[in-house]
Chain A
Amino acid sequence: MTGILVYSEDSDLQLQLLSKGRELSNSLAVKLYALVIGSNVEGYEAHFLNYSDVVIIIENKSFEHYDVELYKIGVVEAVKKVNPDVILIGATKFGKELAARTAAALDAGCITECISLNIDKEGNLLAERLIYGGSSIALEKSRRKPHIAVISKNIFKKTEPSTSVAEVLRLYIDQPKSKVQILKKREKSKLDTGLEDASIIVAAGRGFKKKEDLDLLRELSSILGSKIGCTRPISADNGWLDEWIGISGKKVKPRLYIAFGISGTIQHAAGIRGSQIIVSVNQDESAGIFEISDYGIVGDLYTILPALIKLLKKMKNLES
């Protein structure tokens, strides 16, 4: 056993994976490596000094854009250097590309979107993941090293920093020219982010008829101090909100999730399964969402939502 290597371009996610990685590295009595790749990562190691044994930094101008082919060369270089047993990569869209491409370069297996991770007695990696559109959980075994696992945000919790400080290892590499030329780039607005950390989420589905009607949801949201989520059609097809919740979008685990006009496809259900309490309002009494709800209301969101807002406002006034 030689080590656990952890990479994500998202530093919050990387810290969560390092926290899980620490658990694995302790049980295997191996070192924990945090990998940093970028074009300008001056001081970036500070994030990980109390979360790993070694921070590996690969800095190169070519890493200015998330070019998967070039980043793969970076990861492979780190793998050659430390020969890890396990590689954990954050399951962002870029992370998934990178993990698969790196796995191919290393002739290694790779398990995408793990929701649990363990090492068995023989040193194999065991992972659970959702399959069949999110309706089932598969238990998979990776029986050859390096084991590569790709993990979404909020599957594992970030732990407290340790008091010991990691050493820093710098690697230098030559890079080929990128095959990808970027013609245009638009950063997305980050107004609706924070869903993954929200403790209450109110969410819209296709029961909403017009974009303006989301104002009702916004009003409720401001009273509850919640975040606003939605299903894929509301975001991807209608463009009413920036990001959606589901197997292909954000996976959330609030203490309270209230679904308005959401039918409850298996893809959406997979994104909210970590919620503590799920409430759903839908006109169709046979909607699948009721199967996965703690409290269901068969009714028109256009009458239920205003009534709920009115009641909460009244309660708020009484309390203050």
Chain B
Amino acid sequence: MCSLKKIVVLVKDIPDLTDIWIGQDRRPILASVKRKINDLDKRALESAVQLKEKYGGEVVTLSLGDEKTRTTILDALSSGADSAFIINDRELTGLDALTTAKALSVALKKLEPFDLVLCGEMSLDTLSSQIGARIAEILNISQVMYAKRIDLTGNKIKVERDVEYYEEVVEVELPAIVSVIREINEPRIPSLMNIMKAKRKPIIEWDSKTLGLSVDELKKLSSIEILDVKAPLVERKRIMIKGETPEEVVEKLVEALRSEGVLRDLK
């Protein structure tokens, strides 16, 4: 009989992207934007909870966050996580992917033994998709990315994954780290009872000292620096074509496209 002991889900709280406005200076305004769990991480959590329902064990989340993460993470606890671990240290903000993966790996070591680490294929704010692969390398565990289905087979996991050229089903030994894609599931909407219960679930915060992380060393190692963030200039004509009938509208459109020179030989 298959069974699981512990699944760790990497959960990042990110700005709600639909709430980001672009200011006069073309810079995104983030200050007042509320935060939410990265959608793909929520799907990773949903997978973990489904595995737990089938094979037992506990589901814990791990985040690198700040003082606001406590609030965001309640959503994960309402959605089936048993407890949440947050690395919260003022000194550890603004890390790059290299040092973020280092910090998370040290925290994962502290959470051992685990069977499985799950995460989203990327976080939708920075879109860098590096953390999963970096952790696999640092912890020397099996790596399977872009999963759209995960199941347990004995002491291994079976994963259906989807890449450009093919779909495949692979099996790897545990412990492993698996990243999920959007198609893996639709996360559950927590019931009111589970939302109430979540407030009593443990949230454990760790700082660099508890983890034995040297902030100086991490800062020295950090190699990517963000110099500027700006919205792209959208230079579109934004001409609305109007007419009495569909025929009139498409005639005007074709005329416009011809004069743009983008409509050439018809087949």
- Docked complex Cα distance between A271 and B167 (Å): 23
How many A-B residue pairs have C-beta atoms within 8 angstroms? Tell me: 252
Contact of A311 with B by CB under 8 A: yes
Q: Across the interface, which residues of A come within 8 angstroms of B171, CB to CB?
A: 180-181, 183
In-complex Cβ contact of A183 among B97, B142, B170 (8 A): B170
Interface residues of B in 142-183 (CB under 8 A from A): 142-146, 158, 163-173, 182-183
B142 touches A255 (CB 8 A): no
Known: A110-B97, A133-B17. A273 touches B232 (CB 8 A): yes
Minimum C-beta distance from B77 to chain A (A) = 26
Interface of chain A, helix or strand or loop or mixed?
mixed
Contact of A214 with B by CB under 8 A: no
In-complex Cβ contact of A187 among B17, B126, B165 (8 A): B165
Interface residues of A in 65-107 (CB under 8 A from B): 66, 68-69, 72, 92-94, 96-101, 103-105, 107
B237 touches A295 (CB 8 A): yes
Proximity bits, A33-63, B CB within 8 Å = 1, else 0: 0000000000000000000000000000000
B142 touches A295 (CB 8 A): no
Minimum C-beta distance from B30 to chain A (A) = 9
Minimum C-beta distance from A133 to chain B (A) = 4
Proximity bits, B216-248, A CB within 8 Å = 1, else 0: 000001111111111110101111111001110
- Docked complex Cα distance between A243 and B253 (Å): 28
B164 touches A93 (CB 8 A): yes
Proximity bits, A276-301, B CB within 8 Å = 1, else 0: 11110000000000111111111100
Known: A110-B97, A292-B234, A296-B239. A138 touches B226 (CB 8 A): yes
B143 touches A312 (CB 8 A): no
Q: Across the interface, which residues of B come within 8 angstroms of A168, CB to CB?
A: none
Minimum C-beta distance from A7 to chain B (A) = 15
Contact of B202 with A by CB under 8 A: no
A294 touches B166 (CB 8 A): no
Minimum C-beta distance from A270 to chain B (A) = 9
Q: Which size class do B's interface residues fall under?
A: 35 or more
A142 touches B223 (CB 8 A): yes
B168 touches A96 (CB 8 A): no
Q: Across the interface, which residues of B come within 8 angstroms of A237, CB to CB?
A: 183
- Docked complex Cα distance between A9 and B190 (Å): 43
Contact of B204 with A by CB under 8 A: no
Interface of chain B, helix or strand or loop or mixed?
mixed
- Count contacts on A: residues with CB < 8 A to the other chain: 90
Contact of A236 with B by CB under 8 A: yes
User: Which residue, of A187, A273, A297, has the highest number of chain B Cβ atoms within 10 A?
Assistant: A297
In-complex Cβ contact of B137 among A105, A131, A236, A296 (8 A): A105
Interface residues of B in 237-267 (CB under 8 A from A): 237-242, 245-247, 249-251, 253-254, 256-257, 260, 262-263, 265-267
In-complex Cβ contact of A277 among B131, B166, B260 (8 A): B260
Contact of B22 with A by CB under 8 A: yes
In-complex Cβ contact of B230 among A97, A137, A278 (8 A): A137
A93 touches B225 (CB 8 A): no
Residues of A bordering B, CB below 8 Å: 66, 68-69, 72, 92-94, 96-101, 103-105, 107-113, 126, 129-144, 179-188, 200, 222-225, 232, 236-237, 243, 247-248, 255-256, 266, 273, 276-279, 290-299, 303-304, 306-308, 310-312, 315-316, 319
A93-B164, A109-B222 are known contacts; what are 8 more A-B pairs with Cβ within 8 Å?
Answer: A68-B145, A93-B146, A110-B224, A132-B17, A179-B173, A182-B169, A290-B238, A306-B246
Can you list 16 A-B contacts (CB < 8 A)? A96-B130, A97-B129, A100-B97, A109-B224, A112-B129, A129-B127, A133-B124, A135-B17, A136-B231, A136-B232, A186-B167, A224-B266, A224-B267, A279-B253, A297-B253, A307-B245
